[in-house]
Amino acid sequence: MLARVEYNQENFKIDLARPLDISLSLRGDDKNVIAWYLKSPKIEPVKEGNWVAQVSKGASVNFNNIYFNPHGHITHTECVGHITPEFYSINATLKKFFFFAKLVSVSPQKMDGDEVITKEQLESLLEPGEAEAFIIRTLPNTVAKRSKKYSNTNWPYLTEDAAKYLRECGIEHLLIDLPSVDKEKDGGKLLAHKAFWNYPKNVRFEATITELIYVPAKVEDGCYFLSLQPASFENDAAPSKPVLYKIENL
């Protein structure tokens, strides 16, 4: 099924029957991705006495409780409320869900014992005003990311200047295949988060960061139409399902 979308005064043709899902699903076992020193999420049936809410055990329906943390167990989209003393909800701040996006693959560079994504790298991949959303796939890109245990690994991160550059380019929605755009242990500085949201001055409340995505190798770098759909959680972050659609007539 082809759909013609009028967007930013231009016509784009996308095939709605060919979605490219770049989210990680939630599993109730140790094969689930984990970050931030958490244990595995749990998906288990409700139990009342000897009754178990599972059809295979005699119940009429399957009726599970799910225990997880959106920041550490699943693809999630967060708003500035993630770093503010005031409460801001992703459900209240994100009101548009379709964006013109650019996907790039980046090999983090060595710097002071860390691996980082720099402003200089991004300058060669993105021009001001080129997109509303920017998706970073880090290299190497393997299926192991789907179940990786990130705690105490000192994952790659964006420098403060890199995040500032994205903001200056007009990027409102940043997506990355890591647990955070910041260093795992940075003493609470959160330089990339703050630079991207322009916190605490002139805060970009409409801007979002989506972490723990996974972009399969078959998805080529380039421009896409992005559907970004967080669950309706009144929380700083919510599980989300970013889906890309190839723009057929670019």
Output the CA–CA distances (angstroms, integers) from residue 162 to 20, 26, 119, 188, 193, in the order listed.
27, 30, 4, 18, 11
Domain map (residue ranges) of the chain: 2-25+71-246
User: Could you give the percent of the chain with pLDDT greater than 90?
Assistant: 94
Residue type, 134: F
Amino acid at 214: Y
CA dist 80 and 192 (Å) reads 12
Give the pLDDT score at 249. 74
Q: Is residue 204's pLDDT more than 90?
A: yes
Q: Is the pLDDT of residue 1 over 70?
A: no
Q: Given 1.10.1060.10, 1.10.220.70, 3.40.50.2300, 3.50.30.50, which CATH number is that of 2-25+71-246?
A: 3.50.30.50
Quick count: other Cβ atoms within 10 Å of Cβ 195?
A: 22
Question: In Å, how far are 13, 28, 29, 44, 75 from 65, measured between CA atoms?
Answer: 41, 10, 14, 5, 19
Distance CA 109, CA 42 (A): 36
Check: CB of residue 60 under 8 Å from CB of residue 206: no
Asked if pLDDT for residue 5 goes beyond 70, the answer is no
* Per-residue pLDDT, 25: 97
